[in-house]
Amino acid sequence: MSKGSTKTVRVAIAGVTGYTGETLLRILERHPGVELVGVSSESRAGEKLSQIVPWLPARLDQPVVHAADLYDRGLDAVFLCLPHGESAARAKAFVERGVRVIDLSADFRLPDRELYEEWYRVTHPAPELLSEAVYGLPEFYRDQVRQAGLVANPGCYPTSVLLPLLPLLQEGLVAEDGVIVDAKSGLSGAGKKLRERMHFVEANDNFSPYSPGRTHRHVPEMETYLTQAAGRPVRLTFVPHLVPMDRGILSTIYVRLARGSADDVVKTWQATYADEPFVRVLEDALPETKWVTGTNLCLLAARPAGPGQAVLFSAIDNLVKGASGQAVQNFNLMFGFNEGTAL
Ligand SMILES: NC(=O)c1ccc[n+]([C@@H]2O[C@H](COP(=O)([O-])OP(=O)(O)OC[C@H]3O[C@@H](n4cnc5c(N)ncnc54)[C@H](OP(=O)(O)O)[C@@H]3O)[C@@H](O)[C@H]2O)c1
């Protein structure tokens, strides 16, 4: 990690009324190198930020503006907490002005325009920027993130799946076929927009699968980076579930071992993550979502299963390591702060 920087970076948050935008406010509030010079919402523009976020410290209060009104504020960096499809067009306007962008949406996570348009069913608003976007999983792309003008912050499920699987595929420990991911998420993973299945009466006291097999939009993102690590195509079976809790993801991953045992999985993780501040390997316990709530941690564990098989466990807070915390981790790298500042 670099020594802490003493400079002040002029920052804005686009999409401050959403869950990831508000989580960013909580983290940036304690960042000594950030001056928050703009916040946007399309539906609440014109209001004071404290009307929307009553817990806000007075020094951060300011008028909420439309995203387009952030373009010419002399920003150094902007966090885009917007829906996919909306984010890319905004990103382009900021990049053109020399503002470094950390995009929390999916718009720049897939390097291939056709793949994006097939899965997200929108025309990519800025395909010319895809080649310069860096995938912001710091544990694997740290050097590229430091230099990046545009960071594609990973999805929440992909973060919980890539951190356990990438080193194992890189080392040839896990077979690239037959990987099954059984993932569970709290409801904030779906954002604030109202949908029937997110209503209290539908979600409370309930546990339901959705987008099973190979239909969830995070499948191509996970397969893209797993395939790069393995050097051969990796195909997943991925079944996400909604769990009646506010936040947190627990992914249970069933793999065939190409060699070695569950102990070798643990040793590989320990070697890979020995110097990583936010990935911890548990040996005597299995990860639980409450242990990571409000933190930027990813907890990992592995256990033997049938012959030649292992089961892996990974827990993160979807709003922190799965979104806004990881975004600040990337921001810290980009601007030369200690990587853990404010996290
Ligand atoms: N929630 C998670 O766990 C999570 C994790 C990783 C990544 N992400 C991604 O991060 C992004 C934000 O997620 P979120 O959960 O914070 O979503 P959210 O709670 O639904 O908030 C979305 C934000 O976007 C703004 N917005 C909506 N439509 C807009 C438009 N047409 N133009 C400009 N702004 C618009 C909303 O503001 P107004 O409605 O007030 O205008 C709101 O501030 C999404 O792309 C999501 O996929 C989310």
Q: How many domains would you assign to the chain? A: 2
Within a domain: residue 202? yes
Identify whether residues 134 and 209 lie together within a single domain.
no
Q: 226 with 173, same domain?
A: yes
Annotate 128-148 with b (16+ C-beta within 10 A) or e (fewer). Answer: ebbeebbbbbbbbbbeebbeb
Please indicate whether residue 146, judged by its CB atom, sits closer than 6 Å to ligand 1: no
Per-residue pLDDT for 1 more than 60? Answer: no
Point out the ligand 1 atom lying closest to the alpha carbon of residue 104.
10
Ligand 1 atom closest to residue 21's alpha carbon, by position in its atom list: 16
Q: How far apart are CA 137 and CA 54, in angstroms?
A: 32
Q: Does ligand 1 lie within 6 Å of residue 156's CB atom?
A: yes
Q: What is the percentage of the chain residues whose pLDDT exceeds 70? A: 98
Looking at ligand 1, which residue's alpha carbon is closest to its atom 41? Answer: 42
Give the residue, out of 81, 84, 107, with the most ligand 1 atoms within 8 A of its beta carbon, to mutate for a pocket test: 81
2 found inside a domain: no
Tell me how many helices (H) and strands (E) the chain has. 10, 13
Beta strands across the sheet bearing 208-209: 208-209, 236-242, 179-185, 249-256, 309-316, 298-304, 279-281
Ligand 1 centre distance from Cα of residue 158 (Å): 18
Distance from the Cα of residue 157 to its chain's centroid: 8
Q: Say if 125 falls within a structural domain.
A: yes
Mean pLDDT, rounded, for 17-29: 97
Output the DSSP codes for 186-229.
-GGGG-SS--GGGSHHHHTT--EE-STTTTSTHHHHHHHHHHHH
219 found inside a domain? yes
Return the structure tokens found at 115: 């793949």
Note whether residue 104 is domain-resident: yes
Contact call for residues 157 and 222 (beta carbons, < 8 A): yes
pLDDT in tens, 35-84: 999 999 999 999 999 999 999 999 999 999 999 999 999 999 999 999 99
Find out whether the beta carbon of 323 lies less than 6 Å from any atom of ligand 1.
yes
196 lies in the same domain as 222: yes
Q: What is the pLDDT of residues 92-144, one digit of tens each?
A: 999 999 999 999 999 999 999 999 999 999 999 999 999 999 999 999 999 99
Angstrom distance (rounded) from CA 262 to CA 284:
13
**Residue 280 host element (H or E):** strand 279-281
- Ligand 1 touching residue 18 (CB < 6 A): yes
Pocket mutation for ligand 1, best pick of 16, 17, 20 (most atoms within 8 Å of C-beta):
20
Verify whether ligand 1 is closer than 6 Å to residue 85 (CB atom).
Answer: no
pTM listed for this prediction: 0.96
Cα 157–238–103 angle (5° rounding)? 30
DSSP for residue 273: H
Q: Is residue 6 very low, low, confident or very high in pLDDT (cuts 50, 70, 90)?
A: low
CATH value at residue 192: 3.30.360.10
Q: pLDDT at position 5, please?
A: 59
Give the bridge partners for 309, in sequence order: 256
Within-domain flag for 1: no
Q: Are residues 21 and 143 in the same domain?
A: yes
The residue segments making up the domain with residue 46 are 9-153+322-334
Specify whether 143 is located in the same domain as 227.
Answer: no
Pair (148, 174) in one structural domain: no
Q: Output the six-digit token pair for 58.
A: 């007075």
Does 21 contact ligand 1 (Cβ within 6 A)? yes
Is the beta carbon of 83 within 6 A of some atom in ligand 1?
yes
How many Å lie between the centroid of ligand 1 and the Cα of residue 43? 12
pLDDT tens-digit series, residues 283-315 = 999 999 999 999 999 999 999 999 999 999 999
pLDDT for the residue 217: 96
Which amino acids are annotated catalytic? 156
Residue 306 placed within a domain: yes
Same-domain pairing of 145 and 167? no
Asked whether 174 lines ligand 1 (CB < 6 A), one says no
Residue 221 has pLDDT above 90, yes or no: yes
**Are 120 and 256 within one domain?**
no
Report CA(81)–ligand 1 centroid distance (Å): 5
Q: Are residues 249 and 292 in the same domain?
A: yes
CA dist list (Å): 65 to 40, 46, 196 = 5, 6, 29
Nearest to 71 by CA among 85, 88, 92, 52: 92
Judged by DSSP in three states, 98 sits in: coil
